[in-house]
Chain A
Amino acid sequence: MLLIESYILRQHTRPTMEESTLLVAHIMDTHYGGMLEALKKALDAGSELQRQNCANLMKPDLKVGQEIRNFIISSGGERYLNNPSQYEVRVHHLETGDPPEDTCIALVFQRQVALARDDQEGDDDQIQVILQRGQRWEHLGHWQDAILCYQMGLDKIPGHPELLFRLGSVQMRITPQLAAACESLKKAYEASPDRAEYARQLAHCFLELADRTDIEIRGVSRQDLRNHALVLLERAAALEPANEALLRELGSLRKRLGIEEDDIFFTDFEREA
């Protein structure tokens, strides 16, 4: 589940923000095992979790446990209490501070997000929706919109190979983004090295980049890029040995690079060795 807000009410002294962060982390770790890492990540990302509300009770005759609900409402969190289908508010009692005081900590979790994150099918559905929308943009010839669509998809589901593949494929259509296309396709291929089309498209991208003399390339020669492309096409052909178009493409590149049939057997033999 995703923690989105916390309310900490202490009997006499108000906890500092640092103290409240540690208290929340402690409760998460103690009661929701394995979630401390998620909490740390959330804090690093500067997420909604920064929304911490801390206070102390001014009147000694009141009890923190009884007042926590009023504290949530007065801090603007009434919607959390009124929407149990979307939010779950869990209350914890403990003694904190020096000297220890009665403390009540209410953690607000968002149910919908939790379901979407926990359920792999939910992610798959989201990816399908994004891919379809990206393809609709492509169909309309709106390459930039398609790129933005896939980039937003990757923001939601980072590193997803199909989104990276589609992104790279569209970026290839736009000269200033050719280098970015290589990066996207490389990530897609690294994430799924068993997908022949990923290897093939990355090879196309390397060849395109190698042939574009108007683009400056640093750190690698154009010939190296062509050699990388050859290796990728060979891998793609190994994955799809019945794909005739792919084999023709491979043969054509070998010819272009001046590789004789004998050399092919030799390199294959060398690779196996």
Chain B
Amino acid sequence: MLDLRTLKHLEQAIKAAQKGDRKTALGEVRQFEEKFAQEGKFANPTEWLEMMGVVAKIYQMVGEWELAALKFEDLCDFAEKHHPHSTEIAGDYYSLSKAREKLGDFQGALNAMEKSTLHLKASGQWTRYQTSYDERISMLQKLISK
């Protein structure tokens, strides 16, 4: 179980990110991670995934794409072990793909989309997203071939 004071930093970071206050958001995330790195050993994998997911989204919200991409990589890697073949991990790979695209890493973005596709298929949700995924994959392939 995480200390509520630790979670408070995350809450403040979200509020700041929503207001577009990048500096405060990143500062609060740092303070959260400082405490989480010590308390994290008491957290279960689901809590880890949730916390990391929120941090990645905050980086995304404030436009820190490199940090967001790294954090989504962390998250996907961890989820591969603890929550494979779920729509959540498919969504995390999708977000990773978006972050990499923002960084101009189109091949990396495509690789993440392919992973996302695999997890969506395994979770039985593929047909629901197939059209939008096919469009995005096709767009990324065009960007790579340019």
Contacts and interface: CB of A to CB of B under 8 A. Distances in A.
A141 B134 CA distance: 37
A133 interface: yes
Contact of A145 (B40, B70, B77, B84): B70
Interface of B: 30, 33-34, 36-38, 40-41, 45, 48, 52, 66-67, 70-71, 73-74, 77-78, 81, 84-85, 121-124
Nearest to B75: A152
Contacts of A133: 70, 73-74, 77
A92 interface: no
B67 A86 contact: no
Interface residues of A, number: 30
Contacts of A129: 77
A136 B74 contact: no
A94 interface: no
A83 B121 contact: yes
Contact of B122 (A79, A126, A148, A149): A79
A113 B122 CA distance: 13
Contacts of B40: 148, 151
A71 B71 CA distance: 40
B122 A83 contact: yes
Given A78-B124, A79-B122, A148-B52, A155 B78 contact: yes
A86 B78 CA distance: 19
12 contacts: A82-B124, A86-B122, A110-B84, A129-B77, A137-B70, A140-B66, A144-B30, A144-B37, A148-B40, A149-B74, A151-B40, A156-B81
A147 interface: yes
Contact of A130 (B37, B77, B84, B121): B77
Interface string A125-136: 010011001001
Nearest to B34: A144
Nearest to A149: B74
B66 to A, nearest CB: 7
A226 B66 CA distance: 41
Q: Which 4 A-B pairs have the closest CB atoms?
A: A144-B33, A79-B124, A152-B78, A147-B37
Nearest to B74: A149
Contacts of B70: 133, 136-137, 140, 145, 149
Contacts of B74: 133, 145, 148-149, 152
